[in-house]
Amino acid sequence: MAGRGQRTDIQGMRALAVGIVVLFHCGVPWLPGGYVGVDVFFVISGFLITTHLLSSLTGAGGISFADFYARRARRILPASLVVVALTVLASILWVPPLMLRQMFNAAIATALYVPNVLFAVQGTDYLAETTPSVFQHYWSLGVEEQFYLVWPAVLALAFHLCRRSTRGLFAVIAVIVAASFVGGLVLTFTNPPWAFFSLPTRAWELGAGGLLAMVMRTDPAWVRSRAAGAAAWLGLAAIVGASLLFDETTLFPGYAALLPVLGAVLMIAGGDVGTSWSPGRAMSLKPLQLLGLISYSVYLVHWPLIVIPQQAASPSAPLPPGALLALGAASVPLGALLYRFVETPFRNPPALVAARPRRSLLLAGAASVVIVVFSATAAQAISAQRLDSGTAAPVIAPRAHPVGTAFVASNIRPALRLTSDDNPSIYDDGCHRDIPSTDASACTFGSDPDAPRVVLFGDSHGAQWFPALLPLAETGAILLETDTKSDCPSVLVDPETVEPYPQCESWRSDVIERLNAAPPALIVLASYSGHYRPPATSAESYGEQWHAALEKTVAALPAVPVDWITDTPHQESTPSICLSAHLDDADACAVDRDDAIDMALQEQERTVDGIGWIDMNDYVCGPEKCPAVIGSYLVYRDRDHLTATYSRALSELLAAKLDLGSRDGDRDRDRDGDR
């Protein structure tokens, strides 16, 4: 590509990419797949960096690694680290105290250039995270920084081993791209967080840009053909189409990532302004050029600008959509300021350009160390902060229509800092299956092997009732068997409309087959009923689908009593986080009962034949409100799961409702015993 001018079309592609990402993060409903803008950035970065490195390899015969890393450090790190520092300070001022340790840990990972690894280890669901880190958008920067670290060495070594053959180098890159794509494809199904966040599973996207750089390095004539221009329009359509058609239910990256990646490749290949029938002229319009110029800075500032106010807002008064759009729009002028006063001055300052590369690298390292030391020290200090009101609450047993405690009690159970770990014990011993697992064997609990065998069957909303059932097993009243798996309902949802993931259907079928081979005394079903509703499906239509799926499930199970525990109320946000900011006003973290419970869906469940319908929500909510604290109990561990502590406290109340041969209690049943 020697002799060709600046690719203004690529600058326009940057504007397109950052625009759809910002709109997606603002919650624009018609752009549910706007996250693919990051994939466009990956292809652009791979193309430009590989073009530069190929020029060094084929021209000078090698790569000056120190110069390369110094230039990358000056280009990327000043703006990045300034935003990290400002985000830390803003979070200290406005983010709820319980989130601060998580924030400091993410700041440390970001300063060390491995935020993507942290989020993968934490099992973050980027597309469905309800309380995201203020540094979550840095995952893509972590991928690129790690790519820049290893890619020059990979190209230089391959070029040497291939005896300076560009064809051989192309073959090596192609193999890397193929291996990375296959790895990402496998992990998308078996370990989605690592597939989404890790460099090995995302390298193929940057590598695709690298392959294009190799193809275009000699400036072939075909790139200015009408066919290439038409293909570039198809590429633009692919990116826009993915933004409009993909959503949080799309298995991503997987096969789906091919659409925006190939779209970006086609746009770069045929998008030059001089290409006939090309979108290059449209991409070169001045507004797009200006946005593309500051796109990196806009990307850095937009996420904390949107997220921090949301985390600071009360759950009872969340930010309206218009406010989110206004915050997203504000990222443009703020990004321009960051570009003007940080990104540009530090890109090629004379004092650093004239010095040895190590000066740039040492300064970058020193800045990172300052952030790491400050964050680590502050994290320790924040851990000592008291997160309760200092007043104890009465220790009372759960009862119907509870009144919430108006403060965070000093004897609250579990403590706010321990809430996220207050899971049923089957999470720790492996009995609750994670997403990659297809192990359909059961775990059994109980002191009396001859007691009636009761099976708990469902997803994580089924598993949350394990602590309530375990005391019955411990006293010998039942022999408890667990069959629970994350994000996998026990209900036979229609795969044409709802498809959680492949391992789910396999696991569920094997469990049902095993139950038919050895029928228990009772099957208890519970699942996250509202979670599996397809985005385009109306509430009424989904209710009918759920009703049909429950009937299908009952028919597939053995002819034994089956109880369905209707879903628990949902909070607007994780209550423990809200409570940490309202220690003396816990009512601020309560939600309206009508908003927390899907009554229409419950009515559909009530009318399913052959099933016992159990509603425990009168012990979780009052007549009007669903409080976060009841007595000395913290009710929820996140937005929609009960704490294991509160679940266990409901044991006797749940036992009274179960179909264990007794018809006592306040059950609401519609059972066909001759099923």
Residues 537-554: tens digit of each pLDDT? 788 888 898 999 999 999
CATH of residue 450's domain is 3.40.50
Distance, CA of 512 to CA of 505 (rounded, Å): 11
Query: 314 falls in which pLDDT band (50, 70, 90)?
Result: confident
**Cα 473–chain centre separation:** 36
What is the chain's mean pLDDT, rounded?
91
Strands in 476-539 per DSSP E: 479-485, 522-526
Q: Are residues 38 and 143 in the same domain?
A: yes
Strand partners, 564: 525, 613
Give the structural domain span for 101: 8-303+321-381
Would you say residue 404 lies in a domain?
Answer: no
Q: Give pLDDT tens digits for 207-265.
A: 999 999 999 988 888 888 889 999 999 999 999 999 999 988 888 999 999 999 999 99
Would you say residue 131 lies in a domain?
Answer: yes
For CA atoms 640, 645, 646, 650, give the dihedral sign. Answer: positive
Is the model's pLDDT at 163 over the cut of 80?
A: yes
Of 137-151, 273-287, 294-308, least confident by mean pLDDT is: 273-287
CB 32 within 8 A of CB 55: no
**What local confidence, expressed as pLDDT, does residue 555 receive?**
95
**What local confidence, expressed as pLDDT, does residue 620 receive?**
96
CB 543 within 8 A of CB 600: yes
**72 in helix, strand or coil?**
helix
CB 45 within 8 A of CB 37: no
Is the model's pLDDT at 477 over the cut of 70?
A: yes
**What local confidence, expressed as pLDDT, does residue 459 receive?**
95
Would you say residue 589 lies in a domain?
Answer: no
Phi, psi of 532 (to 5 degrees): -100, 15
What value does the mean pLDDT take over residues 196-201? 97
Distance, CA of 43 to CA of 39 (rounded, Å): 6
Would you say residue 289 lies in a domain?
Answer: yes
Of 228-237, 369-378, 488-497, 516-525, least confident by mean pLDDT is: 488-497
For CA atoms 31, 284, 299, 155, give the dihedral sign. Answer: positive
Is the model's pLDDT at 154 over the cut of 80?
A: yes
Is the model's pLDDT at 149 over the cut of 50?
A: yes
Distance, CA of 512 to CA of 519 (rounded, Å): 10
Distance, CA of 231 to CA of 223 (rounded, Å): 10
What value does the mean pLDDT take over residues 474-489? 95
Q: Are residues 298 and 425 in the same domain?
A: no
Distance, CA of 631 to CA of 409 (rounded, Å): 8
CB 444 within 8 A of CB 480: yes
Query: 44 falls in which pLDDT band (50, 70, 90)?
Result: very high
Q: Are residues 102 and 148 in the same domain?
A: yes
Residue 366 CB-half CA count within 13 A: 6
Q: What is the CA radius of gyration of the chain?
A: 28
What value does the mean pLDDT take over residues 441-464? 95
Q: Are residues 339 and 454 in the same domain?
A: no
**What local confidence, expressed as pLDDT, does residue 190 receive?**
84
Tokens matching residue 170: 């192309």
Q: Are residues 41 and 171 in the same domain?
A: yes
- Cβ neighbours of 157 (radius 10 Å): 11
Q: Are residues 182 and 225 in the same domain?
A: yes
Is the model's pLDDT at 496 over the cut of 70?
A: no
13: nearest Cα among 38, 40, 31, 52: 40
Q: Are residues 445 and 330 in the same domain?
A: no
For residue 456, the surrounding DSSP H or E stretch is: strand 453-458
431: nearest Cα among 322, 511, 342, 334: 511
CB 243 within 8 A of CB 79: no
Would you say residue 199 lies in a domain?
Answer: yes
**What local confidence, expressed as pLDDT, does residue 673 receive?**
37
Q: Are residues 424 and 375 in the same domain?
A: no
Would you say residue 487 lies in a domain?
Answer: yes
Would you say residue 377 lies in a domain?
Answer: yes
For residue 630, the surrounding DSSP H or E stretch is: strand 629-630
CB 653 within 8 A of CB 584: no
Domain finish residue from 381, 401, 433: 381
For residue 312, the surrounding DSSP H or E stretch is: helix 295-312
- Cβ neighbours of 24 (radius 10 Å): 21
CB 328 within 8 A of CB 23: yes
**What local confidence, expressed as pLDDT, does residue 499 receive?**
56
Q: At what angle do helices 286-293 and 8-25 cross, to 10 degrees?
A: 70
Is the model's pLDDT at 370 over the cut of 90?
A: yes
What value does the mean pLDDT take over residues 27-56? 96
Domain finish residue from 381, 406, 428: 381
Write down the H helix ranges in 112-191.
115-121, 138-161, 166-190
Q: Are residues 66 and 126 in the same domain?
A: yes
**Domain total of the chain:** 2
Is the model's pLDDT at 185 over the cut of 80?
A: yes
Tokens matching residue 85: 């520092």
Q: Are residues 207 and 269 in the same domain?
A: yes
What value does the mean pLDDT take over residues 581-599? 93
Of 4-8, 139-143, 396-400, least confident by mean pLDDT is: 4-8
Would you say residue 233 lies in a domain?
Answer: yes
CB 328 within 8 A of CB 25: yes
Distance, CA of 157 to CA of 420 (rounded, Å): 46
Q: Are residues 423 and 377 in the same domain?
A: no
For residue 592, the surrounding DSSP H or E stretch is: strand 591-592
Distance, CA of 644 to CA of 666 (rounded, Å): 24
Distance, CA of 482 to CA of 280 (rounded, Å): 59
Query: 666 falls in which pLDDT band (50, 70, 90)?
Result: very low
More confident residue, 519 or 5: 519
Q: Are residues 367 and 221 in the same domain?
A: yes
Please calculate the CA angle 359-363-366 and round it to the nearest 5 degrees. 135
3-state helix, strand, coil in the chain (%, to 5): 60, 5, 35
Phi-psi region of 347 (alpha: psi -120 to 50; beta: other; left: phi over 0): alpha
CB 292 within 8 A of CB 15: yes
**Cα 96–chain centre separation:** 20
Percentage of the chain beyond pLDDT 90 is 78
